[in-house]
Amino acid sequence: MNQRLAMLQFNFIRQEVCSNSISDLKVDASFRKIAKNAICFHIWKIEEDRLEAEPKAQYGNFIDDCAYIIYAAAPKGIYVNQETITRETKPGTYLERFIHFWLGEKVSEQKRSNVAHKIQELDSYFNNVATEYRETQGNESARFLSYFKKGFTILSSSLIASKSSNRLYQLHGRKWLRCIEMDSISWDYFGSDYIMLLKTETNTFVWIGRSSSTAERRSALDWVTKLGMNASNVVIVDDGYEQSLPEKLKNQWNSFLPLSQRVVSQVSATPDRQQNNKIKIYKCGYRGTRLHLDQLDVVIPTKEDLSDTSTAYVLDGCLQGIWLWVGNMAPHQDKISAMGNGRAFVKKKKYPYSTPVIRVVQGHEPVEFIRLFPNWQQDATESIMAIKPVSTIFKRFDALTLSQRPKMAADTQLIDDGTGERKIYHVTKDQIMEKSQSKTVIFITNHCYVVEYTVMLPTASLADAQNVGVSTIIYQWNGSEANADDIANCERFALNTFEKLHKKAMFVQMCEYDETPHFLQIFDGKLIILQSERTLLSHHNNNLNYISNELSLMNRDYFVLRVYGDTSYNAKATEVYPLNTMSGKECYVVKTSHIWVWCGQSSTGDAREMAKNIGSLLGECSLVVEGKEPKEFWRSLTTYMSQPLINGSISSGSSNGSSTSPLNGSFVYNNNNNNVTKLRLQPQLFLAWLQRGKFFMREVIGYEQSDLSPESIYVLDTGLLSYIWLGRQASTYEKDKYMKIAQLYLESVPIARRPTTAVAVIRQDDEPNTFKGLFENWDHNLWNNYVSYELKRQAFMKQGNMPNTNDTITNGINGNGIIPSVLKNHLKDFDLHHKYPIVTLQQETDLLPPEVNPLKREVHLTHDDFVSLFNMSFWEFDELPVWKKQELKKKYKLF
C-alpha cells in the first residue's frame, strides 16, 4: 500500500527520550518470583529507595504520593482482577501481559524516575512484549478500572501520621467508585456531583450531592457497609437540606463544616475528555541524534498503515491517549524508549500531563489497540472467535434452535427464523399508510418504512418465551434519499408504537445499506430496494414522467438489480442505475423483455440461489453465467444501457454470436467485489450518560451481566448493531434521551464508523436472545432481589432509628415506605438546577450566572435557603396562584 507522508514533523533529541535506559539490566527479586506461564495479578508500591509487594488485602488502596506497578497476565479473552488467584498454565500457552504504572497526584520526581527503571526491569523479564500503560490519578484507563470493579480508595499521604480519626472522603464514579480521602475537612472539597463521607468518632454523615447519579448513591451506601460502619451511626444528608438535620446532629455537623461557610461547587466530577474518532498516525525515524515523526496521510487507519516493522509508529488519539506501536524488527532500544518518546510527544503537543500513554509491540497488540483499525479488528474477531463468517456455517436453523442456543442467535443476530407476522407502514411527513400483504416487498430509496414484527415463538413453553426475550420488534428503515421531515415523522411513529408496548418489545432503527440480519431474514432475503422517482425517469409516449409508487417502478420495462449476500439473512437486491460495471463475484437480475439472472464466474452457488429467488419474484427467468451469455441477453441489455441517463456508446452484438460482452466504452466487467463489508467486531460494552448537556461514555472491559446496573444506560456495540440497554431505574431524563445517546455514541466511538449504523433499544428484563448470547452466562433471575438506592436508604434510616434529613411523606404505594422530599422535588426538577447563594440571585439581570433564567431565579436556591426566605418549601410555593408567587418573588428581590 502506497502512503504519502505529510510534511508535519516533530524533532526530539535522542537523549531526552532514552534517559531511563539501563545497562546490564538486573531484574528485581520481587519480579523474579512470578512464574512466566502463570495467570496472575500483582501490585507493587514504589518507595524512595525500594520496591514493595503489596499484600492482597491492600489491593485497591493507593496513596496519593506514591507510584505503583501492576502486572496482569491471562490468555486472550480471559480477564483478571484483584481477586484473581495465581495459577500456572500449560507450557506453550500464550498469555497477554499488561504492565501499568500508576502515579498519584503528589508523587515525587524521584519516585517517577524509580518506577520508570522498575518498569524496564519487569518488561525485560517478560522479553519486552508486554503492553505498557502510563496511568495518572483520576485518569485511569478502562483496563486499569476493570481490575477494581468494586471501586478503589486513594488515601491522603498528609494524614498517614495523623492521630485524629475524623476524615472527609469524596466519592464519585458511576461504574467504578473512587473513594478519595481529603487532606482536611472543608467545604472546599464539596461539589454537587459528589457524594461526601464525613467520618467522625461517633457518626458517619453521607452527604448526597444533588447532581450525583442514583448508581453513585447506591454504590456509596454499599461502600459504607463495606467499611464496616455501624448503620445505626450513619446519617444521610441531602445537598441543600443540611439545616433540616435534627438539632444535635446539626450541631455536630457545624463543628466540622460550619453551614455559614457552605459553598458547593457546580463543576463536573467527570473529566471532560472530548471523544476523538480521528486518529493521526506518525512514523518514527532517527536522523542523527534526533527523532523525527512524519505524519501519514491517513483518513481511516488500516493495519497496512503500520507497514514498516523495523521502526515504531505514534498513534495520536488526543486526550483519549497516545499509542506507541513498535515493530518486531525494531531495535531493542526502541522498545525501551517508547514510553519516553510518548511522553515527549505529549509535551510537544501541549496535551495535559494526565494524557494516557500506551506502548504495544507487534504481534502482542491488545484489543483496545486493534479496534482502532476496523479492518484489523474484523480479522482479529474472526480469529478470536475461531469461526468462519456466519453465512458459511449456519445454513439452516429454526426458531426452537435459536431460542435454545443464545450463542448461535448472537453470532447470527437472528432472534427467530423470520416466519412471524409482519405489518409494513409507509410513513411520510403527514401520512402513515399500511401496505397490503405481498410476497414481493419493495422499498424505495427516498421513502421511510416501519415494520411491526411479531416474533415466532417455537413452542408455548414459558421457558422458550423467556429465552427469546421479546415478542414484538418495531423496525424503522430510512431510505438513503429520504428527506428529514419524513424521517422525523417515521421515528415519532415508530417510537410511539414501541413505547406503547410496555413489555417484551424492542425497537431497531436502521438506514439503507445498514440492514440487520434479522430484518433481512423476515423478508427471506428477497427484499428489493428500488431507486427513487427523483432519480429515475421512464419513457412513456416519448414524454418523461416521474414514477410515483412501488408498483409503477416494478412494472417498468427495464431495470437491473444487484443481488447482495448468499443466505436469507444477508441477502437483498438493490437497483443499479446507471449500470457501468458488473462484478465477476456478484449476481444481477436484469429485467428487459425477459428476466435474466446473470452470475459472475467467481460468484458462489449460494449467491446464485439467492439471485434466482429474486428473479423468480419478477416472473419466469433464465440463468446466464459470465462469459456464456447468449446474444439475446446483450441485445436486451443494450436497450437498457441506451437510457438517457447513460453516457457512452454501445455497439451491437458480435456477428458470430460470441458470448463475450459486445458493450464498448460505458460498460466493463469488474472482477473486484464491491460489496460493502459490514463490520463484525468483538462486542464492546460502554456505560453512557448525559450530564449538564454533555455526553460521556466509559468502556467496561471484560464485561459480564453483573456489570449492567439497573440505574444506568449501556451501549453494547457489535459492529452490525449497537444495542442501547435501558436499566429499569435509570433516570427519566436519560430514558427520554436514549436516541440522542445512541446518536452521540456513534459520533464519538473512537473507530471509523458510519453514523447510520443500526441501533436497537431494549429494556432491562426484555433482552432478546441475540443480546443475551453476547454474555458468557446469562442469569434470568439476576435482578429478582435487586435492592434499589431508595430501599437501601430506607433501611439505613430504619436501622439508625433516625428521621430523614428533610420532610418525609408516607409512600401511598406500600403504606409504610419513606420517600424523601428531595425525591419528590425531582419530579419538578427543583433539585436538578444549579444552586447559588441568595445574594448572587438577587443581583441585576446582567450579573446573573449564565444558566440562571431571570424569571425563574427561585429554582436556583437550595432547599434550606428557599425555606428560610419564603417560609415554605418549593413544592408548597409551586402550588400558589401565579400572582401570589410573583408578589413573593418581588418582595425578596428574585424578580
282: which 3 cell numbers?
506518525
Q: Which of 770, 749, 769, 3 is nearest to 377 (CA)?
A: 749
Q: What gap in Å lies between CA 835 and CA 851, rounded to an integer? A: 10
What is d(CA 102, CA 666) in angstroms, rounded to the nearest whole number?
63
Whole-angstrom Cα distance, residue 334 to residue 341? 9
* Residue-level pLDDT at 8: 45
Q: Is 9 exposed, middle or buried (0-12, 13-18, 19+ CB in 10 A)?
A: middle
Residue 170's DSSP bridge partners are 180, 196
Burial 334-356 (b: 16+ CB within 10 A, else e): bbbbbbbbbbbbbeeeebeebbb
User: What ranges make up the beta strands (E) of 351-461?
Assistant: 357-361, 422-427, 432-434, 442-444, 448-454
At residue 287, the pLDDT reads 76
Query: Strand ranges (DSSP E) for 261-390?
Result: 280-287, 290-296, 312-316, 322-326, 357-361
pLDDT beyond 80 at 726: yes
Judge whether residue 713 has pLDDT over 80.
yes
Judge whether residue 710 has pLDDT over 70.
yes
Confidence (pLDDT) at 648: 31
Residue 872 scores a pLDDT above 70 = yes
- Domain ranges across the chain: 1-139+278-389, 153-261, 528-670, 685-772, 833-891
Structural contact between residues 745 and 819, judged by C-beta atoms closer than 8 angstroms: no
Separation CA 40–CA 52 (nearest Å): 17
Q: How confident is the model at residue 362 (pLDDT cuts 50, 70, 90)?
A: very high
Joined together, the cell numbers standing for residue 198 give 464525613
Question: How many of the other CB atoms lie within 10 Å of CB of 817?
Answer: 14
Model confidence at 767, pLDDT cuts 50, 70, 90, reads very high
DSSP one-letter code for 232: G
Q: Is the pLDDT of residue 641 over 80?
A: no
pLDDT confidence bin for 671, thresholds 50/70/90? very low
Residue 266 has pLDDT above 80, yes or no: no
Query: How would you class 715 by CB atoms within 10 Å of its CB: exposed for 0-12, middle for 13-18, buried for 19 or more?
Result: buried
How far is it, in rounded angstroms, from Cα 156 to Cα 105? 10
Q: Given this chain, do its domains 1-139+278-389 and 153-261 carry the same CATH topology?
A: yes
Domain 1-139+278-389 has CATH 3.40.20.10: yes
C-alpha–C-alpha distance, residues 60 and 23, integer Å? 33
Q: Looking at residues 515-534, what average pLDDT do you find?
A: 90
Share of the chain above pLDDT 70, in %: 83
pTM: 0.86
* CA torsion angle 496 499 503 506 (round to 10): 70
* pLDDT for the residue 274: 57
Stretch 267-285: mean pLDDT: 74
Average pLDDT over residues 222-227: 88
Q: 208-239 burial, b for 16+ CB within 10 Å, e for fewer? A: bbbbbbbbbbbbbbbbbeeeebeeebbbbbbb
Rounded to a whole number of angstroms, the CA Rg of the chain reads 32
Mean local confidence (pLDDT), 736-761: 86
User: Which one is the CATH code of 833-891: 3.40.50.12280, 1.10.287.3610, 1.10.950.10, 1.10.3720.10?
Assistant: 1.10.950.10
Banded pLDDT at 270 (limits 50, 70, 90): low
Q: Identify the bridge partners of residue 265 per DSSP, sorted by sequence position.
A: 191
Which CATH number fits the domain 528-670, given the four candidates 3.30.70.270, 3.30.420.10, 3.40.20.10, 3.90.1200.10?
3.40.20.10
Name the 3-class secondary structure at 467.
Answer: helix
Taking 50 as the threshold, does the pLDDT of residue 5 lie above it?
no
Confidence of residue 738 (pLDDT cuts 50, 70, 90): very high
Helix (H, G, I), strand (E, B) or coil at 518: helix
**Domain 153-261 sits in which CATH superfamily?**
Severin (3.40.20.10)
Confidence of residue 562 (pLDDT cuts 50, 70, 90): very high
Which residue did the predictor score with more confidence, 341 or 557? 341
Q: Following DSSP, what letter does each residue of 144-184 receive, concatenated?
A: HHHT-TT-EEEE-GGGTT-----EEEEEE-SSS-EEEE-SS
Residues across the chain: 895
Longest Cα–Cα distance of the chain, Å, equals: 108
C-alpha cell at position 811: 409512600
Report residue 816's pLDDT band, with 50, 70 and 90 as the boundaries. very low
Is it true that domain 685-772 has CATH number 3.40.20.10?
yes
Rounded to an integer, the average pLDDT of 455-465 is 85
Given a cut of 80, whether residue 1 has pLDDT beyond it is no
**Closest C-alpha among 627, 626, 519 to residue 565:** 519
pLDDT band at 57 (very low <50, low <70, confident <90, very high): very high
Mean pLDDT of all residues in 122-135 = 95
Mean pLDDT of the chain: 84
